Structure 1
Amino acid sequence: MGHGGNVIQELTTDHREVEEIFGRIEALPPGSQERKNLCDQATIELVRHSVAEEAYLYPAVRRHLTGGDALADKELEDHAKAEQIMKDLEGCQADDPRFDSLMAQLMSEIRSHVTDEEQNLFPQLEAACPPDALMDLGDKVRRAKKMAPTRPHPSAPDTPPANKLLAPGAGLVDRMRDALTGRGKESQG
Structure 2
Amino acid sequence: MASEQDTDLITVITEDHRAVEAVFAELESGTDWAHRKDLTDHVIAELVRHSVAEEQFMYPAARKYLENGDELADKELQEHAEAEQVMKELEGLQPDDSQFDELLDRLIRDIRHHIEDEEKVLLPKLRAACSVEELGRLGRKVLDAKKTAPTRPHPSAPDKPPANRLLAPGAAFIDKIRDALSSRST
TM norm. shorter chain > 0.5? yes
1:73 alignment partner in structure 2: 74
What aligned pairs does 1:1-189 form with structure 2 within 5 A after superposition?
4-28=6-30, 32-184=33-185
Secondary structure, counterpart of 1:62 in structure 2: helix
Q: In structure 2, what is the Cα distance between the partners aligned to 1:146 and 1:32?
A: 29
Secondary structure (helix, strand or coil) at the match of 1:75 reads helix
Q: Distance in 1 between matches of 2:47 and 2:13?
A: 11
The 4+ residue runs of structure 1 with deviation greater than 2 A are: none
Task: Give the deviation of 1:28 after TM superposition.
Answer: 1.2
What value does the CA root-mean-square deviation take over the aligned residues?
1.4
Take 2:157 and 2:65, find their aligned partners in 1: how far apart are those partners? 25
Count of residues in Structure 1 that have an aligned counterpart in Structure 2: 183
TM-score by length of 2: 0.95
Post-superposition CA distance 1:3-24 (Å, at most 9, x none): 9421110010000000000000
Q: Deviations over 1:10-53 (max 9, x none)?
A: 01000000000000001115x72211110000000000000000
Question: Helix, strand or coil for the counterpart of 2:97?
Answer: coil
Unpaired segments ≥5 residues, structure 2: none
Percent of paired sites with the same residue: 55
Unaligned 5+ residue runs, structure 1?
Answer: none
TM-score (norm. length: structure 1): 0.94
